[in-house]
Structure 1
Amino acid sequence: MTAGTLPLEILNRIVQQLRPVDLPPLCRVNKMFQRVTERKLYNNLILGDVNLAYRVYMSLIAHDGMRGPYVKRLWFYIDPRRGVTRGHLAHQFWQMMQVALSTMTELKDLLIHDPAGTATWILDPDEMRFQLHTAKFRLQWDDDMVAFLQSQHQLKHLQTLDAHDITRVVPLPEGHLRELEAFEGPLLVAAEMLSCPSLSHLRVIVDEEVFQLLPQFVENIVTSDPPLRSLHVNVIPDPVVEETLEALTVDPKCCARIQHLGVIMMPWIHRHVIHRHLTRLHNLQSIAFEVSHLDPAPIEGFQRAIALEMNMYCPSLRRVSFWFGHHQVVLWAYRQDTWTCAGVHPHASIEDQLWLSV
């Protein structure tokens, strides 16, 4: 039996066992293998090189875009530390990507990293025929972004950048993103998500320009009444900790839903402010503290003592994490009636695990 007469099921099994590096040569064996192999080859595209990405987009566009429906995930990410990509990428590159995106009718997971953050125009809703479940954009929040999001009716997880001008944040009209469950982004854009009726997880970036707005933002969470289970702020600064916690715990329904809270700037003393509000969070499972500002840094014994202390006021707690800036996170977990250190983790590897896991 020749390769060309093998049943489709057998061809699929052969292809599924191969490494990605073996797929391009197999495409050249015959047309039968080409069709089966290309489905896997283009199913999950993770592109980190501009020249390679350009060639892939050209291949997707060829033959009237016949390969476009094969793509379920497209990640285009350029390491910002590469000097060649710190500025604007060529307009022609983004045009080619836009045309390639227009062929991807089955795309569900999209990540676009633009070093300049300005290529939102490629997301023209009149050109795109896909409905995303996950969208992560290093792109500014502007009119083009909002127009695109209004066309996405199945989106569950969204990440985006701040507006170019924070004095004018383009509003997201009510009635859109009804399936959105998780949002990651700056505070002023996160405020636009509070009208999403399914929003349960928020990861919010707060910088020095807007940190004083955090208590009002949390108050809006409570009054908007999204079914929020996780609120993860890059840092809740000490000057607004008490006001922020008071706004969060004023409503019993909100208190009953919250299962993860962080990252709170830990005080050496006066922790009674945190204790008082923990007693209201009856279902809180995870809490995170920023401790990089403490001198000396809290050693393992002190970390365990803090975990025990917080658990006294909030018996539902099962994880307490200590954040040493952007360098590392020390995680403590309650197992078999004792608090044990669950390891030291890089910041980037543990953050999603904490705020998305509840």
Structure 2
Amino acid sequence: MSAGPKIALCPDLCKLIAPWVPDETLPALCLSSKAFLRPAQARLFYSLYFSDLSEIAGLCREINASERLGDYPRNLFIVLETLGSIRLNSAARIAAWQDVALGLKHMPNLKTLLISDAVLVNTWIFEDLGTPPFQLKNLKLRFQWDQRFVDFLSSQKSVVALETSCPDPYIDLSGSSPDGTPTHIILPTIPVDADSDGFLPHLARLETQLFIAQQLLTPFPGRKHYPPLTYIRINPAPENDRAVLSMLPNLCWVHKSLRAINVQLPEDVVWKAINMIATAVPTIRYIGVLHIPSVHHHRLTSALLRLPHLWAVEIDVSSWEPQPPNLFAQRAFAATMRTYAPSLRNVIFWVGEQKWLWKVMPTEVDADGNGVVGDGMGKWGCQLDNGVKLWAEA
């Protein structure tokens, strides 16, 4: 009995079908027909997540052998959080990272890259990468902050969001220097090019360590451009109060774009820090997290008067007595703050791990036809927010 005639599938029709196939059946779809191979592979390779060095190295070898596969990845996540995720001897580990660097050379359409390196010493892959074929939008790197790292960043002119986790060179065996700066460590040099738009010319969101934020915002001879930052978050909470205060005046270089800053401001410096932020960026719309002491609240009023555009603020009241602060105390404090900052619409209170969100709810008098709150006082509404999302875009 002879086989029936083969049916040729329309490639355009296959492209329309593939996006609707469940993710778990995509490998089977690749094997079902050559017509489905490319559209199914495009979905399989669009976002790649690996937590094992051997696996990502193997995939990069496949991409190196097939130029077509390298066109598919848009998002690549390499999360090697533990030494167990590497499971290779020294020579094999170096070879695997070389495969990764070579694989990145064949991914021209990559837009999001996350590399979390448990040993923090493999920034040499950026030298092997050479001139990257891609221009990233989102970049998250857990690496050592060295010249290779900075040179790679200088090649990425389209980065909008940058998140780093780097060892802090500001602290040596004897502790920090009195002014919070290292005495014997030379930081990498940020390249200056008078003919370009500067270093990271489109960077809007920055989540990084204090010493990196300080360097990115520090003026130096020949520097004319600063990243157009709208949001800065400092992680983890700085231990050196003087280092925090030394960074805040440099916010003035991005005052035209900056709208939100999140840095843990301890009680000892919170009043001085708020005034420094008000001086550097009077148009700031969000500040957090302020560790407000339970006494001398009047010192906050003078700073609030200097923040006419403040929209949201996060406050840690874990040190208040008695604990926890009841809702009446929270509302009274929020209302007091808004008396001096009429633009304030959101006040977030942290009580340990609990997050209480107070929002000004519009009334008929205060809202226009679109429901937008006007200059009236409105009324306060409260909710317990179990999430930890910050008002980054406030």
**Counterpart check, 1:173 vs 2:191:** yes
One-letter amino acid matched to 1:95: Q
CA-CA distance at 1:7 after TM superposition: 4.2
One-letter amino acid matched to 1:246: N
CA-CA distance at 1:292 after TM superposition: 2.8
TM-score (norm 1): 0.87
Matched with 1:189 is 212
Matched with 2:231 is 201
- Following superposition of structure 1 onto structure 2, how do residues 218-237 of structure 1 map, counting pairs within 5 Å? 218-222=248-252, 225=255, 227-233=257-263, 235-237=264-266
Change (3 A) 1:221 1:120: same
Change (3 A) 1:6 1:250: same
One-letter amino acid matched to 2:385: V
Matched with 1:333 is 359
Matched with 2:271 is 242
Q: Is the 8 A contact 1:214 1:240 kept in 2?
A: no
**Counterpart check, 1:343 vs 2:384:** yes
- Following superposition of structure 1 onto structure 2, how do residues 249-268 of structure 1 map, counting pairs within 5 Å? 249-250=278-279, 254-256=281-283, 258-268=284-294
Change (3 A) 1:21 1:191: same
**Counterpart check, 1:317 vs 2:376:** no
One-letter amino acid matched to 2:286: H
**CA–CA separation in structure 1 for the residues paired with 2:346 and 2:44:** 40
CA-CA distance at 1:101 after TM superposition: 1.2
**CA–CA separation in structure 2 for the residues paired with 1:298 and 1:249:** 28
TM-score (norm 2): 0.80
Matched with 1:136 is 140
Deviations 1:251-305 (A, max 9, x none): 5xx212x111111102111112222211211111110112233341223332222
**The structure with more radius of gyration:** 2
**CA–CA separation in structure 1 for the residues paired with 2:188 and 2:24:** 44
**CA–CA separation in structure 2 for the residues paired with 1:311 and 1:6:** 64
* Identical pairs, percent: 28
Q: Is the 8 A contact 1:197 1:226 kept in 2?
A: no
**Counterpart check, 1:215 vs 2:245:** yes
Compare the two structures and name the one with the higher helix fraction: 1
CA-CA distance at 1:94 after TM superposition: 2.1
* Secondary structure at 1:57 match in 2: helix
Change (3 A) 1:41 1:86: closer
**CA–CA separation in structure 1 for the residues paired with 2:156 and 2:228:** 14
Q: Is the 8 A contact 1:109 1:132 kept in 2?
A: yes
Q: Is the 8 A contact 1:142 1:163 kept in 2?
A: no
- Which residue of 75, 78, 101 corresponds with 1:76? 78
Q: Which moved more, 1:131-140 or 1:69-78?
A: 69-78
RMSD: 2.5
Q: Is the 8 A contact 1:330 1:342 kept in 2?
A: yes
One-letter amino acid matched to 1:341: C
- Which residue of 271, 290, 294 corresponds with 2:297? 271
**CA–CA separation in structure 2 for the residues paired with 1:248 and 1:303:** 24
Q: Is the 8 A contact 1:163 1:189 kept in 2?
A: no
Deviations 1:29-66 (A, max 9, x none): 22221111111111112333445434433332232x32
Q: Is the 8 A contact 1:142 1:164 kept in 2?
A: no
CA-CA distance at 1:12 after TM superposition: 2.0
Deviations 1:131-190 (A, max 9, x none): 111101111211111010111111111111235522233232342111111111111100
Q: Is the 8 A contact 1:88 1:115 kept in 2?
A: no
Q: Which moved more, 1:158-167 or 1:48-57?
A: 48-57
**CA–CA separation in structure 2 for the residues paired with 1:121 and 1:328:** 42
The number of residue pairs the alignment matches comes to: 344
- Which residue of 113, 116, 122 corresponds with 2:116? 113
* Secondary structure at 2:191 match in 1: coil
Q: Is the 8 A contact 2:47 2:76 kept in 1?
A: yes
* Secondary structure at 1:119 match in 2: coil
- Which residue of 25, 39, 56 corresponds with 1:36? 39
Q: Any stretches of 5+ residues in structure 1 without a counterpart? A: none
Q: Is the 8 A contact 1:197 1:227 kept in 2?
A: no
One-letter amino acid matched to 2:261: L
* Secondary structure at 1:145 match in 2: helix
- Which residue of 41, 45, 48 corresponds with 1:45? 48
* Secondary structure at 2:386 match in 1: strand
Matched with 2:309 is 283
One-letter amino acid matched to 2:257: P
